[in-house]
Amino acid sequence: MWFEKSGLDNAAASVSGQSEVSMEQLYEWDPDYVYVFIGSPASVMLNNRVRGQYWSLLNAYKNKSIIDIPQAAYSWGAPCSDSPLMPLWLISQSYPELMDENEFSVMFKEYYGRMYDIELEDDLIASVLSPRKAQGQIP
């Protein structure tokens, strides 16, 4: 749903539920972007450190476009209070010429101001947008 709303084609749209996708299937799809929802952080794939998996063969790897999905109280990959932000965040990652990360950060801050009457600090925004980096999981 999020991909469709952001104008992206989901290569895995035919996969039902939360099935594990094989590397062979990923090679066949050869996606430009891989958005990591659960499991190992994107950094593990970007460093090609998964035994028996050669992420370096994918366009997403070559373009450094394997990205962890943001997480506040919940991961934005699942329906949550931050769901309205997910399609906009995907656009900022996939189509930076339409909306870059700085523009998205402003929208993110404005959303929290309207919805929760909270003014987010830049370091908190950074930790939500790069959750695994904030936790020290990315070198």
In order along its 139 residues, the chain shows pLDDT tens digits of 778 888 888 888 888 777 678 899 999 999 999 998 877 889 999 998 888 899 999 999 999 999 999 988 888 888 888 989 999 999 999 999 999 999 999 999 999 999 999 999 999 998 898 877 644 444 4
Candidates 59, 62, 61, 64; CA nearest to 31 is 59
Please state, in angstroms and rounded to a whole number, the distance separating the CA atoms of residues 37 and 97.
24
- Domains of the chain by range and CATH? 2-134 (3.40.50.1980)
Q: Residue 127, CB half-sphere, CA atoms under 13 Å: how many?
A: 11
What pLDDT score does 133 carry?
A: 65
Token readout for 115 is: 């919805």
- Single pTM value for the model: 0.82
Based on C-alpha coordinates, what's the Rg of the chain? 15
What pLDDT score does 138 carry?
A: 42
Residue showing tokens 């990360």: 101
DSSP states of 63-131: TT-EEEPPBSSSBTTSSSTTGGGHHHHHHHHH-TTTS-HHHHHHHHHHHHHHHH-----HHHHHHHHSH
What pLDDT score does 136 carry?
A: 45
